[in-house]
Each structure stands twice: as C-alpha cells, then as structure tokens.
C-alpha cells in the first residue's frame, strides 16, 4: 500500500484518516497493516529467502501489495528488524 506521507509518522487510513491499530515503529519507518491477513502476507514476503520477480517477457507494471512495500522493508539486511516489528504487532493483539 503506497501512502504518500511522512514515513516517520504513524500510519493512518487514507480514506477515513484514523490511526491504524496494527503498526510498529522501526528505525527506518513504520511497519503497518490493515488486518491480520495483510500482516501475515507481509511477514511471509519478508521471511522468504527467494523472491521471484515478474518474468522479463511479461510486460506491464504489476503492482501487487508486496511490490508496493517500501524498499527498506524489502531489503534482506532489514529482515530481522521488520520481523521483530511484526512480532510486536502480533504480541499486542494477544494482549488485547
């Protein structure tokens, strides 16, 4: 989800303007999700050691949910930090 906003501010829903519940701050920006399914999709993408791209012969820009993640979330060097943030979000759900 590409929200054009300051990456150092907490995430808000672009339509309603309310703060999202599923979010955690990292040193690079905020990890956020609309719901648990969205959060698990991000977690599976970040955990994957092999991420296959779109075939070279498939023309057109494919903008999937994970393709719209910020570059810092897609980098392997930030994998542990992103997964820790996702774990904090999951833990906050269990406390609720």
C-alpha distances (whole Å) from 25 to each of 28, 77, 90 are: 8, 17, 14
Residue-wise pLDDT for 24-82, tens only, equals 999 999 999 999 999 999 999 999 988 766 555 566 666 677 878 888 999 999 999 99
70, with CB counted inside 10 A (0-12, 13-18, 19+), is: middle
Composition of the chain by helix, strand, coil, percent to 5: 40, 10, 50
What does the alpha-carbon distance between residue 1 and residue 67 come to, in Å, rounded to a whole number? 9
pLDDT at position 3 is 46
pLDDT at residue 46, as a whole number: 93
Confirm if 89 and 33 have CB atoms less than 8 A apart: yes
């Amino acid at each position: 989800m590409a929200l054009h906003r300051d990456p150092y501010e907490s995430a808000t829903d672009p339509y309603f303007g309310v703060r999202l519940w599923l979010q955690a701050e990292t040193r690079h920006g905020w990890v956020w999700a609309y719901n648990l399914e969205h959060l698990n999709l991000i977690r599976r993408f970040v955990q994957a050691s092999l991420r296959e791209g779109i075939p070279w012969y498939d023309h057109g820009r494919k903008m999937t949910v994970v393709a719209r993640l910020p570059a810092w979330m897609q980098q392997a060097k930030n994998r542990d930090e992103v997964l820790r943030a996702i774990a904090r979000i999951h833990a906050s759900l269990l406390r609720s």
